[in-house]
Structure 1
């Protein structure tokens, strides 16, 4: 979006002027995350998690590059190379724990970021492309995290790879060739480890490229805000820097404190003990689970326990698991309410809280053993999850009567109409 009142970038040095003509990178940064980008003046702390996700993406890339210098993608010595990093490489234990726990913090920020977008209607026009690119980032992050989980080549790594790649086998006709292509054979081994290592190293840079497009798509319509009301003038905005850089910095600092505590004092709290046992194809763990941030989707996958007509239960579970995320792509057209923000939609707020509880229940069941009552609870929670997006949201958008919106962002902040606000 073009803001006529935005502060313009003006180089003050001869080198800055030359650089601005040759490669206006400082101008791009200034207009994207500096004083040249006017942001709505009423953004709350839920708008801080995008920058936090960006920070932990950088942490993952930097620590990942260092780990790749010492890791050996060979099934015979992969586990030992990780132990070598932990014991013999200078500060290797810290780099490895930062990488492992950084993934969890990245997904925490991503989930809070997605939750904010769902509640405040950030997927609605004119920000559909912004939302779609965000979903693509999430899918790429899932693929990257899964492949990274395989690399330590412990028991949970090996059997996680076997179970997840085995899902493709359920797809008729093309599933088996896809599985063999991913593994480079018929079971996880050297070829699979090399493929996963290569893709795990490559995909974060692909994510960075999509993040740049995500930021670009953000700056065309401008940021959404808690009221969902469009910016109407300079009185509705403040420069992104220093106001929101300082605000984001406070949240990032707090997150780094918790990240440091986890990394130094509870480094394995979010991991699985079986991954400290070398991979053994002849010994199946009693309870195979992915990382915690995949648990809701894993619960949906396991919720299908019987065939339906000619469709096997395994295929139904695979389709449901992928559909649970792919349905997000259609949100801008499923929710046709003219009001963006959930703050002014009383019934939507109730169902949003129920959805959050439902996802937490799915997460708990995904980390629990595949036995009753967890399977039945997963089935009920999965049914509600799809009902929320495919039935409840479309009905709410037509039947719900929203509360009156403020006439401007300034009115929502000051309590005064736009005409009398200073």
Structure 2
């Protein structure tokens, strides 16, 4: 009994009833247009004084509703109303306008169904409750204290008068049942008629892929810039602490390198986080490149006490900007890994040959470091950068040393 009451008068049933009444309200302009057509054809001035003519006007107006449903905003508006009032999962319905002929046809079918059922239920909701309430109160209304209403001959019987409240309540329950059935029908057909088509799914997949690409790029930038800076600052501070009393000049150089590293990293961090803030303008700090900051990167790495030998056999200013920027991050990550895990010295070789930029970072194998929770992401980030540029990368132990070799194409890197 409780379940039946919930199906007929529960919160979801009431919201779906409201959805149907909205459909009836939307149908009214089309019914008025239909009456303009039906009236002259039948020669009747008062179309709304006849139920058959009202139904005729309704039948003429529904095809007009199907035509106007081709308006681009119809599908997103109808889908939004169905989500809010019919209790349909948000992902089951499309968000944008219909793009293909099939989607427009399904939208027209839904709009016609919504207005058709809504118009009928709205008319029933206006007409039946007053009549049903009259039947419920009829035994009281015929009492002398209420003026002693005269009954029609069909109701001028004791048994008819006794059954009139039952008939009135049955009408109200029947109306609720019709509304629940029509609401369930609309909820069942909404995903099929308003659901995303192949074009919508493709657009959603492309949007997700673009969002994932941006997130991965930001993650790489944060890992390479902030991760390298923290590793360098940690080693610089550790080296300065060990020689604090014996080598003040080294301490001053280490502190200067820490200041320079943190200042540059804050600027890069602001540039990356600016992309994440809605409505914010991205930071203006330029992305570091081999041409602009390779010497500074080597100086800050050496300030931590790490011996780095660098050989550069290429004109850094002649590199394409994209290659120069990504190569800087690759070198930065290679040196960062050497700072954290490797022995000394570190050898860096950068050269151009056969239309490619070759980057090699080598260092002796150090003691196996303690594993970090979740593992590192540096080599994966390097592989992602290289793959996006169409290059190759190799990293691993070789003859008692750790070797990272990256080859990036120069042509087509725009």
In which range does the TM-score fall when normalised by the shorter chain?
Answer: under 0.3
TM-score (normalised: structure 2): 0.21
Query: Larger relative contact order (C-alpha < 8 A, sep ≥ 6)?
Result: 1
Q: Greater Rg, structure 1 or structure 2?
A: 2
